[in-house]
C-alpha cells in the first residue's frame, strides 16, 4: 500500500492513469472509498441518486482486490455491479451516478 501511495503522489491527477493496488476484506464502502481517495488523491463522490440506490455506504460491506488497476477502473468494478455509472470529471475526480 505504501508503494501505491508513493506512485500515486508522483502521478497525481488523472484517475484513468493513476494505478492502485489494494485488498479489502469486509470493509465498509465508506472505508474503501476513503482509502482509494487517500492513496490516489482522486476524490470519489456519490451523487444523491447513487446514495439513494446503494443506501448508507457506512453499512455496506464489500470485499475486493485490485492490482495495478486505474482508480476509474476500480470504481467501475465496485459500482458497475450495483447498476451505477462512474464519470470522470475534468480528469481529476470521479462522480458515481445512476445511468
27-42 tens-digit pLDDT? 999 999 999 999 888 9
45-64 tens-digit pLDDT? 999 999 999 999 999 999 99
88-99 tens-digit pLDDT? 999 899 999 999
63-96 tens-digit pLDDT? 999 888 999 999 999 999 999 999 999 989 999 9
User: Residue 12's closest CA among 50, 39, 44, 45?
Assistant: 39
Alpha helices by DSSP H, listed for 1-99, are 2-10, 29-40, 48-54, 71-80
pTM beyond 0.75: yes
List the domains of the chain with CATH numbers.
Answer: 2-97 (3.55.50.30)
Amino acid at each position: 500500500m505504501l508503494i501505491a501511495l508513493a506512485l500515486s503522489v508522483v502521478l497525481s491527477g488523472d484517475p484513468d492513469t493513476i494505478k492502485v493496488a489494494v485488498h479489502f476484506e469486509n470493509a465498509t464502502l465508506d472505508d474503501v472509498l476513503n482509502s482509494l481517495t487517500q492513496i490516489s488523491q482522486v476524490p470519489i463522490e456519490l451523487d444523491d441518486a447513487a446514495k439513494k440506490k446503494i443506501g448508507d455506504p457506512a453499512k455496506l460491506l464489500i470485499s475486493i482486490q485490485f492490482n495495478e488497476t486505474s482508480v476509474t477502473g476500480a470504481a467501475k468494478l465496485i459500482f458497475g455491479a450495483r447498476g451505477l455509472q462512474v464519470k470522470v470529471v475534468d480528469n481529476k475526480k470521479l462522480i458515481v451516478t445512476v445511468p
